[in-house]
Each structure stands twice: as structure tokens, then as C-alpha cells.
């Protein structure tokens, strides 16, 4: 009888261990998606904050302020800096290799008349192109995505320089392609 009780205890223990393994594997996938979504939201929020800082510094200092990727070849995932000439206001570190700049990126986030991606703000706070100070106020959408999750984030800058964050799953009207 005692050997049968030990046998049942061992079978029960194996069943519990198998269930724990299954739940851990399901939880690990969910945790990974959650973490990637947080990285994506953080990157979008940080870029929006940098763009807002650039606009504020442009108006405050009555000067043109730029936001540019640190490495134009890698784009915005390399990080970015906010500067007016040699004066740097902020610098972002490179982003996680899990995040990618989606091909749907448009406007000055993608390329410009200067030859690379950048956003410039005039002394009045309007977004502008360097080569055309009096017209051609650009807009842009920067799409962040990851192959690990269906979530996406969009940073939008409108023609007057206002910055907005958008989740395409929740706001297709304003974030759509």
C-alpha cells in the first residue's frame, strides 16, 4: 500500500511539474511581447519628448533646432540628438535591436532635401525643411514595429510642429498608412 501511495505521489509530482512547465512557456511568450511593447512605447515617447524639446528650444532661443539620427545610415534606431549647430540639448541612446523603423515611415523622418532623415524647427516652432525656410513645412510619421509582436507605435509631427503619439490598433483614422 505504501509503495502505491509513493507511486501516486510521484505521478502527481510529474503532472504538476509538466503543468508548471507549460504555464511557464506560455507566460514567457506573453512576457516577451509585453517587454517589446514597452520598449516600443518607450522609444516613441522618448522621440516625441525630444521633438517637443526641440520645438521649445527653437522658440525659446529664437533659433533653428534640429533632431537628427546619430547614425544616418542606421536611421532613428541608432538614437538621435537635439541640437542647434554645436549646442546639443539632448542625446538618446541606441534603441533595442528588437525594434525596427517600419517602411511606412514618411516625410522628414524618412529623408529630406538635406540628404538624410531629420526634423527642423524654426524660431517660431514650425516644422520646416532646411533648404526652404519660408514654405514646404513638412509633416512626418515614424512607424516603430517589431517582428516579435503585432503592436506598432507611430510618432506624428504635423505641419505646425505639434507632436503626437499614436497606436494604429486603437486609432486607425489618424495613424493609418
Per-residue three-class SS string for 76-125 = EEEEEEEEECCEEEEECCCCCCCCEECCCCEECCCCCCCCCCCEEECCCC
* Cα separation, 77 vs 71, whole angstroms: 9
User: What is residue 82's predicted lDDT score, i.e. its pLDDT?
Assistant: 96
Contacts of 59 (CB under 8 A, 6+ apart): 121, 123, 124, 125
Q: How many CB atoms lie within 10 A of CB 104?
A: 16
pLDDT digit string (tens) for the chain, length 177 residues: 455 555 568 778 888 888 888 877 777 777 888 888 899 999 999 999 999 999 999 999 999 999 999 988 888 889 999 999 899 999 999 998 888 888 888 877 776 545 578 888 888 888 876 544 444 456 788 888 888 888 889 998 887 888 999 888 888 777 765
Cell numbers given for 45: 515617447
Half-sphere exposure of 122 (CA within 13 A, CB side): 17
**Which pLDDT does position 50 carry in this prediction?**
95
Q: pLDDT value at position 135?
A: 45
What pLDDT score was predicted for residue 87?
Answer: 94
Q: How far apart are CA 78 and CA 100, in angstroms?
A: 10
Q: Which of 123, 158, 122 is nearest to 141 (CA)?
A: 158
- What SS3 state is found at 132? strand
CATH number at residue 126: 3.55.40.10
Domain range enclosing 78? 2-175
Q: How many CB atoms lie within 10 A of CB 5?
A: 9
Exposure string of 45-66, with b = 16+ CB inside 10 Å and e = fewer, is ebbbebbbbbbebbbeeeebbb
Number of domains making up the chain: 1
pLDDT of residue 2: 56
- Residue 133: the pLDDT is 46
Q: Give pTM, 2 decimals.
A: 0.79
Per-residue pLDDT, 3: 54
Amino acid at each position: 500500500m505504501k509503495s502505491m501511495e509513493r507511486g501516486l505521489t510521484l505521478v502527481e509530482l510529474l503532472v504538476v511539474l509538466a503543468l508548471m512547465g507549460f504555464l511557464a512557456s506560455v507566460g514567457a511568450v506573453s512576457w516577451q511581447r509585453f517587454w517589446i511593447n514597452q520598449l516600443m512605447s518607450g522609444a516613441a515617447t522618448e522621440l516625441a519628448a525630444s521633438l517637443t524639446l526641440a520645438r521649445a528650444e527653437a522658440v525659446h532661443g529664437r533659433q533653428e533646432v534640429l533632431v537628427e539620427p546619430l547614425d544616418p545610415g542606421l536611421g532613428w534606431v541608432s538614437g538621435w540628438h537635439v541640437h542647434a549647430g554645436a549646442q546639443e540639448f539632448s542625446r538618446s541612446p541606441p534603441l533595442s535591436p528588437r525594434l525596427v523603423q517600419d517602411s511606412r515611415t514618411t516625410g522628414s523622418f524618412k529623408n529630406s532635401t538635406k540628404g538624410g532623415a531629420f526634423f527642423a524647427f524654426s524660431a517660431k516652432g514650425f516644422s520646416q525643411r532646411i533648404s526652404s525656410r519660408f514654405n514646404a513645412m513638412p509633416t512626418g510619421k515614424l512607424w516603430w514595429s517589431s517582428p516579435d509582436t503585432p503592436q506598432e507605435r507611430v510618432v506624428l509631427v504635423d505641419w505646425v510642429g505639434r507632436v503626437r503619439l499614436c497606436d494604429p490598433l486603437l486609432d486607425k483614422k489618424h495613424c493609418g498608412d
